[in-house]
């Protein structure tokens, strides 16, 4: 399968955007962690911004970055969002309430669905094409990328792909240790055009041993499924033929090769 | 699109374990719903509970996956020769060529809710035995099912609230078309939990009595649990997936577009993919949750495309609203209706809301059916319509 990468958005502590990420991936700059500013996506109407969860704001803020780097209107894109645990802090709050008074707030409940980020995004952007929200545990980046790629190619449509991890509070963090936020947003097109950053050839292949994490990456991010995407982004800084393996299951990888 | 063969399918809900029991309940217009008797969630409402799932024992090697959702998944897998059908496909195609795509809205969150009730009062920590990744993570049931079936192809979970296990059909078609798999097990599993019972109650969307889709006096939904699966393969078959449509309302997180705009576009897209005109659809299994707003919006959308020419009904009064499993439950009912040439009714509907414009048909009837549509809509304005039909 061959897809075109049109634009990238990145949010992580120390990586506030794609330019700073590219500098780190290309070895031009050392990675230095820095607290991530609170996300206030401009596209979310004030009422929605207030009602939404931190995960929603995080995912949409990274998506906005990618949108600013492409001429493709957001209304023309299908959506594939992926996360190993999209509700995060909301799950914690709900379970706390349910273990006590059980007086759940309606907003809290609708924010608890895995597709809340893509739902809020579709409202913010008037994006009316299909929206798919994927989970594949630690393999969520590769799974979502495949889902986005097959949709782009089968439907001949650009796809906004966003994969994200949002920090979890204790005690959930004891069993799912996501401590820092990482988000990668990609605008994917079915074929290259003048403004395309690079084309990727994707293939599913048997996994041979564990895939190494990038040396520059903080160890804490290894709990983040979305951080697997940095391996794929590194191919955008390399030349033709640059490649990366993204784990898809215990047996399979997605091989990404720049072409 | 080229149709995909449905080689095997199965459904388990409060209406019955497996296809025969479900078909009987539909034909006899018998609801599987009952007044809520859950000792752990004393809410005044009805529920669709699958009691038989509660005592299912998981294989020892997969003990870490034990939770209400995975017990229900295993019970459903054991019906209708589904395990054997997958084993035969695996032998023929290879384990790595069969994908697994399941939908769920809450997976095994009940286990986490119970773990929160058992937190250490001093430290706040969860019980040491609690596992998140194999019981609560939304992918836990997909990984469990993949291991039970011995499959090694690509797998993932779709969680788009109440359209989850309809959208897995779309994903499977695309994976097969792109050559990433030759066949796919699709389906969905959702089980009763505090989150959805108390959450939908907070939104005032749960009926105090049994749900009555499209009834003048409808007061909301009845939550049920269910699991179902289908085995899809490239090529034609006696039963086929013929088309699908996926859209977003881009309107509101938990309320439908008042005119059902997203629903209308999903149905039109499904017809276009199936290369069918509206008049070629013989029956529509509506999402029909029985909330005043949902039924009104869907009824308008259906009338806009089909007028009064296509009989439609909601089977939520038989199974309950099974949320993340609603897509597969109603896909299975659509397939059953084709196999049995029986158009299901809506047995809990007493008086069809006179505002309804679409051809809502509360009583089931034997009727030759060639092509049927199934609608599933979820929070976030997430819509999916599927078209199934008989092969040549």
pLDDT digits (tens, 9 = 90+) for A169-183: 999 999 999 999 999
Does pLDDT of A240 surpass 90?
no
Compute the CA torsion angle B390, B382, B170, A182 (nearest 10 deg).
-170
CB contact under 8 Å between B133 and A176, yes or no, is yes
Instruction: Output the pLDDT for position A110.
Output: 92
B257 is catalytic: no
Contacts of B234 in chain A (CB under 8 A): none
Mean pLDDT of A183-210: 96
- Nearest Cα neighbor of A3 from A221, A255, A201 is A201
Instruction: Output the pLDDT for position A238.
Output: 79
Q: Tens digit of pLDDT for each residue in B176-234? A: 999 999 999 999 999 999 999 999 999 999 999 999 999 999 999 999 999 999 999 99
Instruction: Output the pLDDT for position A14.
Output: 98
Backbone angles phi, psi at B220, to 5 degrees: 140, -175
Lowest mean pLDDT among A48-57, B86-95, B258-267: A48-57
- Identify the residue among B248, B260, B261, B324 best suited for mutation to test binding to A, counting A beta carbons within 10 A and taking the highest: B248
Does pLDDT of A129 surpass 90?
yes
Mean pLDDT across chain B, nearest whole number?
Answer: 97
Tokens of A152: 């782009």
Mean pLDDT across chain A, nearest whole number?
Answer: 96
One of B162, B170, B193, B211 is an active-site residue; which one? B162
Contacts of A49 in chain B (CB under 8 A): none
Contacts of B202 in chain A (CB under 8 A): 103-106, 109
**Gap between the Cα atoms of A244 and A201, Å rounded:** 11
CB contact under 8 Å between A150 and B177, yes or no, is yes
Instruction: Output the pLDDT for position A93.
Output: 95
CB contact under 8 Å between B173 and A154, yes or no, is yes
CB contact under 8 Å between A147 and B171, yes or no, is yes
Residue of A nearest to B162 (CA): A113
CA-CA distances (angstroms) from residue B204 to B109, B254, B297?
A: 22, 12, 18
Q: Above pLDDT 90, what percent of chain B?
A: 100
Mean pLDDT of B130-137: 96
B170 is catalytic: no
Q: Tens digit of pLDDT for each residue in A35-72? A: 999 888 999 988 888 899 999 999 999 999 999 999 99
CB contact under 8 Å between A114 and B252, yes or no, is no
CB contact under 8 Å between A84 and B202, yes or no, is no
Tokens of B117: 């009730």
Mean pLDDT of B343-355: 97
Predicted complex ipTM exceeds 0.95:
yes
Helix (H, G, I), strand (E, B) or coil at A61: helix
Point out the residue among A95, A135, A204 whose CB comes nearest to the CB of B157.
Answer: A135
- Nearest Cα neighbor of A85 from A142, A134, A35 is A134
Does pLDDT of A237 surpass 90?
no
Query: pLDDT tier at B296 (50, 70, 90 boundaries)?
Result: very high
Does pLDDT of B102 surpass 80?
yes
For residue B65, the distance in angstroms to the closest alpha carbon of chain A comes to 14
Q: Tens digit of pLDDT for each residue in B359-374? A: 999 999 999 999 999 9
Q: What is the 3 state secondary structure string of A156-195?
A: CCCEEEEEEECCCCCCHHHHCCCCCCEEEEEEEECCCCCC
Contacts of B135 in chain A (CB under 8 A): none
Lowest mean pLDDT among A35-49, A88-102, B93-107, B121-135: A35-49
Instruction: Output the pLDDT for position B392.
Output: 72
One of B136, B257, B287, B303 is an active-site residue; which one? B287
Instruction: Output the pLDDT for position A239.
Output: 81
Instruction: Output the pLDDT for position B373.
Output: 98
Instruction: Output the pLDDT for position A88.
Output: 84
Instruction: Output the pLDDT for position A126.
Output: 97
Q: Tens digit of pLDDT for each residue in B138-178? A: 999 999 999 999 999 999 999 999 999 999 999 999 999 99
CA-CA distances (angstroms) from residue B371 to B89, B228, B284, B307?
A: 26, 21, 9, 17
Centre a 10 Å sphere on the Cβ of residue B392 and count the other Cβ atoms it contains.
7
One of B136, B194, B303, B321 is an active-site residue; which one? B321
End-to-end CA distance of chain B: 16
Is-above-0.90 flag for pTM? yes
- Nearest Cα neighbor of B321 from B78, B105, B114, B110 is B105
For residue B329, the distance in angstroms to the closest alpha carbon of chain A comes to 19
For residue B130, the distance in angstroms to the closest alpha carbon of chain A comes to 8
What are the strands of the beta sheet with B371-378, ordered from one edge?
A: B239-248, B382-390, B371-378, B283-285, B312-313
Compute the CA torsion angle B189, B52, B211, B282 (nearest 10 deg).
60
Contacts of B199 in chain A (CB under 8 A): 94, 104, 106, 108-109, 112
For residue A137, the distance in angstroms to the closest alpha carbon of chain B comes to 6
């Amino acid at each position: 399968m061959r897809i075109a990468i049109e634009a990238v958005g990145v949010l992580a502590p120390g990586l506030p955007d794609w330019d700073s990420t590219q500098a780190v991936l290309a070895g031009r700059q050392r990675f230095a962690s820095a607290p991530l500013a609170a996300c206030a996506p401009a596209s979310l109407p004030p009422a929605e911004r207030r009602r939404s969860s931190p995960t929603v704001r995080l995912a949409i803020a990274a998506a906005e970055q990618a949108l600013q780097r492409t001429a493709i209107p957001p209304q023309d894109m299908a959506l594939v969002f992926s996360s190993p645990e999209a509700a995060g802090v909301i799950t914690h709050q709900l379970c706390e309430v349910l273990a006590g008074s059980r007086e759940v707030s309606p907003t809290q409940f609708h924010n608890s669905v895995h597709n809340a980020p893509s739902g809020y995004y579709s409202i913010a952007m008037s994006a009316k094409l299909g929206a798919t929200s994927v989970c594949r545990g630690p393999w969520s980046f590769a799974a979502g990328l495949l889902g986005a790629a097959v949709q782009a190619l089968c439907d001949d449509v650009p796809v906004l792909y966003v994969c994200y991890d949002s920090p979890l509070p204790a005690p959930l963090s004891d069993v799912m240790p996501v401590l820092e936020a990482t988000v990668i947003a990609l605008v994917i097109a079915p074929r290259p055009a003048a403004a395309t950053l690079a084309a990727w050839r994707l293939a599913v292949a048997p996994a041979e041993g564990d895939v190494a994490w990038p040396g520059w990456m903080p160890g804490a991010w290894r709990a983040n499924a979305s951080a697997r995407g940095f391996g794929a982004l590194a191919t955008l800084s390399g030349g033709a033929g640059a490649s990366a393996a993204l784990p898809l299951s215990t047996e399979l990888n997605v091989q990404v090769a720049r072409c | 699109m080229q149709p995909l063969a449905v080689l095997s399918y199965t459904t388990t809900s409060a209406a019955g374990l497996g296809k025969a029991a479900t078909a009987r309940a539909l034909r006899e217009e018998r609801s599987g719903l009952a007044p809520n008797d859950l000792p752990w969630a004393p809410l005044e409402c009805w529920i669709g509970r699958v009691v038989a799932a509660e005592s299912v024992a998981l294989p020892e090697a997969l003990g870490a996956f034990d939770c209400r959702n995975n017990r229900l998944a295993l019970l459903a897998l054991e019906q209708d020769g589904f395990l054997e059908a997958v084993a035969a496909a695996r032998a023929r195609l290879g384990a790595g060529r069969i994908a697994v795509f399941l939908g769920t809205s809450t997976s095994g969150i009940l286990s986490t809710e119970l773990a929160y009730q058992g937190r250490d009062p001093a430290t706040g920590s969860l019980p040491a035995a609690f596992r998140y990744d194999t019981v609560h993570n939304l992918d836990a049931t997909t990984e469990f099912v993949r291991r039970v079936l011995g499959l090694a192809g690509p797998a993932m979970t779709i969680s788009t609230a109440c359209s989850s296990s309809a959208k897995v059909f779309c994903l499977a078609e695309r994976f097969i078309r792109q050559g990433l798999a030759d066949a796919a097990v699709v389906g969905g599993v959702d089980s009763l939990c505090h989150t959805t019972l108390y959450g939908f109650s907070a939104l005032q969307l749960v009926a105090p009595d049994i749900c009555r889709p499209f009834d003048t006096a409808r007061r909301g939904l009845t939550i049920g649990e269910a699991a179902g699966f289908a085995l899809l393969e490239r090529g034609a078959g006696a039963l086929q997936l013929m088309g699908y449509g996926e859209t977003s309302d881009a309107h509101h997180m938990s309320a439908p577009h008042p005119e059902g705009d997203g629903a209308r576009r999903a149905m039109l897209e499904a017809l276009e993919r199936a290369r069918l005109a509206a008049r070629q659809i013989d029956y529509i299994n509506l999402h029909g949750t029985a909330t005043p707003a949902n039924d009104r919006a869907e009824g308008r959308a259906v009338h806009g495309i089909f007028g009064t020419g296509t009989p439609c009904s909601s089977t939520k009064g038989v199974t309950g609203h099974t949320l993340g499993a609603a897509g597969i439950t109603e896909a299975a009912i659509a397939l059953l209706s084709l196999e049995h040439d029986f158009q299901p009714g809506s047995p809990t509907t007493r008086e069809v809301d006179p505002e309804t414009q679409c051809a809502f048909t509360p009583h089931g009837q034997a009727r030759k059916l060639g092509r049927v549509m199934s609608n599933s809509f979820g929070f976030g304005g997430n819509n999916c319509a599927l078209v199934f039909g008989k092969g040549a």
